[in-house]
A = this chain, B = another copy of it.
């Protein structure tokens, strides 16, 4: 994200961060080093968390009342990192106060809420962005680039596993916590919306949201996406296989250096010598290649992008519409889970906006 020089004379964008629990400190840390941004204040209901924020960032204001931030003229934008059930109300209040808004994923609890937020952002002419972190990672961007350049050929499948021990959340189930990453990645790298979803899930703690789930997404093409998520795994897994007609990818986010591997492997299909009705399947294996990826933290790229969109009046890559499509899929998956895997159709967007690359 290069910011052209003439922006440097503009006043810095004043940022307030609401929620200083697990993710909030990461937002503060990254906005603190973003050129063109200035953190004005931090809000959290818990004074102990505010105290720890003060130790680390003593020059920054703090409050337990987020409304104080909305009344503060120095605050141009708010970044919301609170429990999911509070996203809608906080984001709506901020938009109504004319603030630009960045919301941690998922954007809200329902697609109706997201539509409402989108309408409000449009009416106020402010930026509404959702924190789909993975589409700002060097690994996912490289994968999108390879797919875009037809390196993989036709995409046959996307197979992803996200598993670890914890953190069980009380207000959303495991697909709203973990599968949301894959759904935003799929959208970003494939530029396509699935036609239907089949999902199954189960809870192993009575009265708690489902902690293990599987989602299958069906597309117009023969591509199928499958996502396996688990809060109760003895080992952490973050693995995605992407199969194409020309090449295949293994993306392992836990690898320190070779996160993305490209395999020149696949099958070849030819008509059998014995019978035109019979196909002969051959196997092809070539070199393996792992592209070097820059070390830049995704959230840093994302913070820069948010500030840039505010300054230039641009739509962000992960805008309300992309957040909406993710949530529509999560809602459909929820219906399929209730029906033990029965497929549920997905509403198709009127017009499919193509993602544009972020510099």
Seen from chain A, the residues whose Cβ lies within 8 Å of a Cβ on chain B are 56, 58-59, 156-157, 159, 161, 163, 165-166, 168, 170, 196, 198, 200, 202-205, 207-208, 212, 214, 216, 218, 222, 224, 226, 228, 230, 232-236, 241, 243, 245, 248-250, 256-258, 261, 263-267, 269, 278-279, 281, 283, 285-292, 336, 339-343
22 inter-chain pairs at a CB distance below 8 angstroms, sorted by A residue, are A56-B56, A58-B59, A157-B202, A157-B232, A163-B241, A166-B283, A196-B340, A200-B216, A205-B267, A208-B281, A216-B341, A228-B228, A230-B241, A258-B288, A287-B290, A287-B291, A288-B289, A290-B290, A336-B341, A341-B341, A341-B343, A342-B343
Partner of A263, one of B168, B234, B248, B256: B234
Partner of A212, one of B165, B214, B218, B224: B224
A196 / chain B contacts, CB cutoff of 8 Å: 340
Q: Which residue of B lies closest to A289 (CB)?
A: B289
**When the two chains form their complex, are residues B234 and A267 in contact, meaning their CB atoms are under 8 A apart?**
no
A264 / chain B contacts, CB cutoff of 8 Å: 292
A283 / chain B contacts, CB cutoff of 8 Å: 165-166
- The secondary-structure label for the interface of chain A is strand
A250 / chain B contacts, CB cutoff of 8 Å: 234-235
Q: Which 6 A-B pairs have the closest CB atoms?
A: A198-B341, A234-B263, A234-B248, A288-B290, A340-B343, A341-B341
A207 / chain B contacts, CB cutoff of 8 Å: 279
A208 / chain B contacts, CB cutoff of 8 Å: 279, 281
Partner of A289, one of B58, B200, B281, B287: B287
* Docked CA distance A267–B159 (Å): 27
With A202-B224, A232-B156, A265-B165 in contact, do A218 and B289 touch (Cβ < 8 Å)? no
A224 / chain B contacts, CB cutoff of 8 Å: 200, 202, 212
- Tell me the smallest distance from the CB of A332 to a CB of chain B, in Å: 12
* Docked CA distance A222–B210 (Å): 11
- Tell me the smallest distance from the CB of A214 to a CB of chain B, in Å: 5
- Tell me the smallest distance from the CB of A208 to a CB of chain B, in Å: 7
* Docked CA distance A236–B265 (Å): 12
- Knowing that A205-B281, A233-B241, A285-B292 touch, tell me 20 more A-B residue pairs with CB under 8 angstroms: A156-B204, A159-B228, A161-B161, A165-B266, A166-B267, A168-B267, A170-B278, A205-B267, A205-B279, A214-B216, A232-B248, A232-B266, A234-B248, A236-B256, A287-B292, A288-B290, A289-B289, A289-B290, A290-B290, A342-B343
A291 / chain B contacts, CB cutoff of 8 Å: 287
**When the two chains form their complex, are residues A235 and B214 in contact, meaning their CB atoms are under 8 A apart?**
no
* Docked CA distance A289–B336 (Å): 38
- Tell me the smallest distance from the CB of A278 to a CB of chain B, in Å: 8
A203 / chain B contacts, CB cutoff of 8 Å: 222
**When the two chains form their complex, are residues B202 and A340 in contact, meaning their CB atoms are under 8 A apart?**
no
Most buried by B among A232, A261, A269: A232
